[in-house]
Structure 1
Amino acid sequence: MNHFCANSKSLLLQTLNGFLLLCMISSLHLVTTATSEENETDLSALLDFKSKIVGDPFNIMSSWNNSFHHCNWTGITCNISNGRVMNMNLAKLRLKGTLSPSIGNLTFLTTLNLLNNSFHGEIPQELGRLHYVQTLEFAFNDFGGNIPNNLSHCTQLLSLGFGANNLTGTIPNWIGNISSLTRLSFALNNFHGSIPHEVLRLGTNRFGGVLPDSIANFSTQLYTFAFGSNEIRGNIPAGISNLVNLTLLSLEGNHLIGSVPDAIGKLQNLQELYLNVNNFSGRIPSSLGNLSSINKLFLEENNFEGSIPSSLGKCKELLVFSLYRNKLRGTIPKEVFSLSSLSIYLDVSYNALSGTLPVEVGKLQNLGELVLSGNNFSGVIPSSLGSCISLEKLRLQGNSFQGNIPQSLKDLRGLLDIDLSRNNLSGKIPEFLGEFTQLKRLNLANNSFEGEIPMNGIFKNVTSISLYGNSKLCGGVPQLNFPSCTVRKTSSLRKLLSPKVAIPIGIALVLVLLMSCFLTIFLIVKREKKRTSLSTTSLELGFSYSEIANCTGGFSQDNLVGSGSFGSVYKGTLSGDGPIVAVKVLNLQQRGASRSFIDECHVLRNTRHRNLLKIITAISSVDQQGNEFKALVFEFMSNGSLEDWLHPISNLQSQTKTLKFIQRLNIAIDVACALEYLHHSGETRIVHCDIKPSNVLLDNDLVAHVGDFGLATFLFEEPSNFSKQSIMSASLRGSIGYVPPEYGMGGKPSTLGDIYSYGILLLEIFTRKRPTDEAFEGGMGIRQFIAMALPNNVMDVIDPSFICEDEFDDESEEFEENEEEERAIRGNYEIEVHGKGLLEACIVSVMEIGVSCSATAPSERMPITAVVKKLHAIKNSLIKKKDKV
């Protein structure tokens, strides 16, 4: 009995196991069948999408065929676990056609990116079936019709972009219910009609309605919130302060009225604020000073009244500030002029501002444009303006400035555009304006200038200058049609030739001639006496050995900041609490060190430029043991050398010493400007002979200063007994990897040799590879390495550390050469819209300049003046400055 029961139980268990196994096989078959059917659904949807494509210039759709599984088709990514289509990225492929409703069958889709194509027709309602979709990017197409209401079912949306299409209708109210949204863009469409009060207004379209109070209830995850260039009316609700994560708030180009609420100052993370081209009135809220992260602030073309709040001086990150065409009065606060961060432009033109410009304007040393035109400013132009060495445009026209153009402006050699017209300026036109080699436009019309018009530089180009309305001017090139100064000179000459005047003048001239001869003889004798001790320099020898030893802590190793072939550099503090300096102590035991000291003194005595290392004094003395001691004292560069930033020696430095693309570009421009000055701006051309990263010093603002002129030479210096041996000695000047090839074959130092070294340096800045890097094998140098990668593979060889910088937006557009078209599409979002495409174009251009400069044949190298111009053009293409006047 027990045996029978046991057998029965065993039989029952076997039957049950068999039944369960049959169920599992059936279920697996059903799952496999379902998955297979779903994959077939995805495949069918993709083929239907392909069938609607009528234009495919890159032949992308040719890969969508049976030779490959659809998960391997161009632009398609599938989920690994279930094989369903997850991402569809066909951006920037110039596809033309309509969007198939079958797209709604890709129910596992999370990203659909059709950015920058030529799709037309209506957006299908079937998109509402994409319940997992997070990103919909249809910008820069030709879609028409309304936004489909079924998109309200896509509750996981993070990014929604329908900009630059032909969409019509109104903005649907369901958008305000999708709390997950972080980015919204509806730029350049044809939305119209009234907007329900409870709907959150989105995008940058031309639609009507009133900005609702319900904005206060919207998700605080939103970081981009754009309304620019619409027909929006009403006020800004105070509840906008709840959007605490906003980094971009764009309301420009609407019909908004009333005052800007103080609550806007609570948006602590805001980096860009666009309120320009509206009908705002009242005072500018002082709470804007709380926006500690703001870097772009546009308030122009409104009806703001009152004064500029001094609290804006707390916006220490501000790069650009525009207030033009408002109704502001009073003076510009000194706190605003003290914002050293301002580097793009400051524009307060066409208001009713008055008073004099304070000396604090000189603190804007990084500013590119200063526009104060169309106000009531008076008094003299402060000489401190000469400290704004980065200025490219200076526009002071339409004010009441008086007095002369200050001589201190001669240091602003980077100026491209000067407009001082319609003021009360007087005196002579300074000759130094004609020495500005970069100057393209000069307007001095309607003032009270007098005397002879200069004939140099820009004054020879009548299409680039304007001098009318100055009745006391004379001379100049004939095309200016000013009266000749000859008559006035002749009249004066007749008076001088009268006997009563001529005899005393003749006696005086004889006495002056005798004194000059005596003084010349005295100086020659004195110079011969000094030649044995310091044949050299007229630099002031203002410190003794003991003073220099004290300021460097007895040349302590703790103060050692670097060493080279001819000596060591120490950090020191003058007079206990004086300025911090760098002291270069020459190692006189090293052969050539004394000659290096003399050469460097010669160069530094004859040069002055904002991108050259500034010398304070030179010391030629004896130390405590009676040994000869020579040193040079320089302005201290707090950020060390470019070498430290490109090739840090520790992991900590690698993390802290990183340069963004625009910083590298600025450094490259600074070094090029320094070479341009050395090669072309003095009476004698100077060749540096040792351009490399360790000789490029960076100040507190990362402005580059070229130093170490120990190997420099004047091109006119060539003794009569200049032997072949001395030629070879000179030709080997420089550092390995940066020395031009012709120096190794006996060539003399030349400006073209400096350009070669600069080209290698330029390639090193953007690749972070030394010219002697182990990657360059088999005779290939850094130039050949980059040349082979140009233009299509350049992004593979440059330093990857700045490719993911947040200064360029991820969904940016390709670079367009048509500036008007760019501006129409871009608005105020140049970097956001054109980041990566423009970044790559700029990198290619920079690398081409580096390859050209480092050409083997000197005659094929790009002139340094052209280098400066091209690099400035590249920089301007990144951040274009609008002409506001």
Structure 2
Amino acid sequence: MHQGSLRTLEVMTGPSRRVVALVLVALLLLHGTVSSSAQTLRDDEQHLFAFLKNVLPGYPSPFNTSVPTCQWQGLSCIGLGAQQRIKSLALGGLGLNGSIPYSTLGALTSLTYLDLSYNLLTGEVPWDVWSSLPNLVHLGLSNNKLTGSLPKWVNMNQLLELNLSENLFSGPIPDSFGANLRYLKQLDLHGNNFSGPMPAFTNNKFLSYLDLSSNRFTGGVSYATFYIQELLMVNLSRNLLTGTIPDEFGWLYKIRTLDLSENNFEGPIPDFYNLRELRQFHVSSNGLNGSLPVNITRLPYLWDLGFANNKLTGSLPPLPWGMSSGIIRFLDCSNNFLSGSIPWGLLASENLAVVRLARNRFTGSIPTNVTTQMQEMDLGSNNFTGDIPATFTSSHLLEKLDVSSNQLNGSIPWDSITELHSLRYLNLAYNRFAEGALPNFAQFVNLSYLNLSSSYVSGSIPDSVGELRSLLQLDLSHNQVTGNIPTNLSQTTNLMSLDLSHNNLTGEIPPELVSLMSLSTLDLSFNNLSGVVPNANQWTHFTNLSYEGNSLLCGAALNKVCPTLSSPAPSPSAPVLVAAPSLSPSGFNVPSILHRNSSSGLEAGAVVGIVIGISLAICAFLSTYLLFHKKSTYKKPRKENSSYLTGPVTFESDPCAWASLVQQPASIPVIMFEKPLLNLTFADLLQATSKFHKDSQIADGRYGPTFKGALPGGFQIVIKVLYDDGPSNELEKAAQLEAIGKIRHENLVSLVGYCLVGDERLLVYEYMENGDVHTRLHDSPDEAHHPENWTKETWADANEKFVVSEELGWPVRHRIAVGVARALAFLHHGCVPNVVHRDVTSSNILLDSQYEPHLADCGLAELVGSGKRYEMDLTVTEPVLGGTPGYVPPEYGQTWKATARGDVYSFGVVLLELVTGKSPTGQYFHDSYGGNLVGWVRTLIREKRGYKCLDPKLLSSGVESEMLECLRIGYLCTAELPSKRPTMQQVVGLLKDVHVDIVTCM
């Protein structure tokens, strides 16, 4: 108080003095309050600034600091003047990066709205955020990289909306967590790693929106969990829930959306006749059985039904569906065991846009009355008969039509189908149509997929095929198509897959087709094509199988010389009659020329004779040279040793007994490419492996069993015995093995030597001390690989860069990826001829004493596969051409042709293994992810959640950005379309650009 005021107060007396004193006291209190309020705002600002400095690069540049803090964008305050407090923070999508420090946001105790969604925040949510914000109404932390578990207790009694979706939260949801949030209306936890049983929300009487999808919840769903009358939307899809679907869901009278798809529910679908407000009901991809409940289709507002991928039987209920026959819009019953006919009028439902009934047992004819609103109709793989209704013309919005694999007959109504100008996908394959010609394709301007395989199409391919500028895949195989391949086909510049096999096409392959730069799959086999095969651009990657069954084709692509001889010029006075060319013994096409002039005939005969004589001489010389050359490099076993077994015992039935029956093992040489001075025989291999005793066997791969042994000098070896007998001629066997022995690269497991013992081929390799990558990555109990445990830390010492006995550190994993990529690049581009590995897996990547990678089984795919024993060992999950489930590219199931781009795909799977630490397949991968690692990773990357794929055991090492870059490379390698995949040379360059300090493991 000022001195003047005090003096004035001293001289005053009576009532006046008392009034003035009260006024001064009030002013003094007001001054203290204002000072305190101003200090409170400054404290809020300091806490906010501390948070922003930690998570916002370039702070405070995104904000206008020339205005008061409470006027910043995304920020608001409560109170007037100096009494203001920060009330709302909406900082979503600002690129916030880093963790939320303790005592920053949690100290803003007046906050009612906090939204930090779509950023890059990491780490756990501090405890004070959960416990010190009692006024919070909205908390949004979605689409970040936050980790940790939910607390058992929270102090947010006013919270109405909680969104933690698309993060890395894990662990169970405590029952007490839901109990503390009594007024919660919206809870969104989808896209995390929450596990354990379904939480109970018995105290949440106001909850209307609940999304727990894409987590790892297990167990059943009980009545107590969801007895909330206000629920409007429940999404439990993409979890691991089991048991039956509770009947108690029928008590949720207000519910509009119920999604239980992609779990492990069993039993029948309850008859939810009470859910009168239900609009969307999805139970796809479970193990449900029984029939489709009639009362579900009678619900008055139901327009979206999904029952696909179950075991449902019976027929579809008759109309009306819903309040009337026009309410239904989306129906997916594909991949069940449903039968009977399509209810009359169902396809005519006026709002029906998508109907999927594929892969069932439906019979009868396809209804002729179809709504004009239809956009997708998939009726493939059933038993429909009759014609394709011409009334489809009215469906001008139709984009996809699939009636493949039925028993449809009659003529294809091309006049009607060509009127469907919106059509993008047309599949009429595998039916019994009446023979007919191809239509004018000029009307299919939007078509991207056309499959008419095995549909009795005849005639020539019209030139209008060039009008299909959007076409990606064309399949006309197994028909009676004749004529030439039109040159205009080169105008379909987006074409990726072309199959014209098993027809009667003639003429040359148009050289203009090399301009189809996107073409990755080609099959022209079993036609009558002739001339030179194009050998430029991507056509250099197609194998001989693409042209099989066309004996008149030639060129570098087939390693077949084209004919160069031409007939003598005819004399003007002497007409010449030219007959069809005949094949000479030397392989050249020699024209057979018949002249009316006898002297000309003699000259022609002389030319032909000379050519044939020279050709025979060359063949005789080459045969003699090869025979003696092979004899000089291969010591053929004595003839008496070729039949060395005296009983039915084979190597496969009992290797040890088989070995004991081999006569004179010391006389059977082991041909060594390295260390030839060892002068080994089969007897040395018997001693090294204890006569191939089962204790010496270390693996039983797809090509044969593998045994470990040590030679007398201490040199450790591995012996692989091939399952397939191979050629009957021993010289051919030796030539094949010697060809493999010449394939040398520092990142390949090179063939050290071989031994031929009767029919068996024994391959000798150098032993790799540290085993294979698959064992190093995945050799632990199954529980460790289950998604519920994917975020658990298992490092014995967080300061160690690499734990040899348990896990591979990131620098070593990157080095493995680079080494294997270099090996494949060498096979694809450095070998002559180029080599396709066919079985690139983590089990085939071996590690030496320094953990350098070596790709094994190179060239074995060419040796094994034709013998009876191998064919008998094939399983239905493996293509004939080789490959391991989880690594086989998708196109192999259609083309059955191994390609270099297929190896790229398999390498991509290995790269994803190295980045994620997860096996390529497993029961924990949902069908929505394709049931495998590739589908899971690609789904998360498309959803911009790639960071969730990283191996959590490595996240503490500070290499997240490098791992994400390698994840991106793996994404490129595993593209569904082969043409979209990089070459292995490009992959090597991409991996080398990822900066990793390579460490040497001791």
Q: TM-score, normalised by structure 2?
A: 0.43
Higher relative contact order (CA 8 A, sep 6+): 2
The structure with the largest alpha-carbon Rg is: 2
* Greater fraction helix: 1
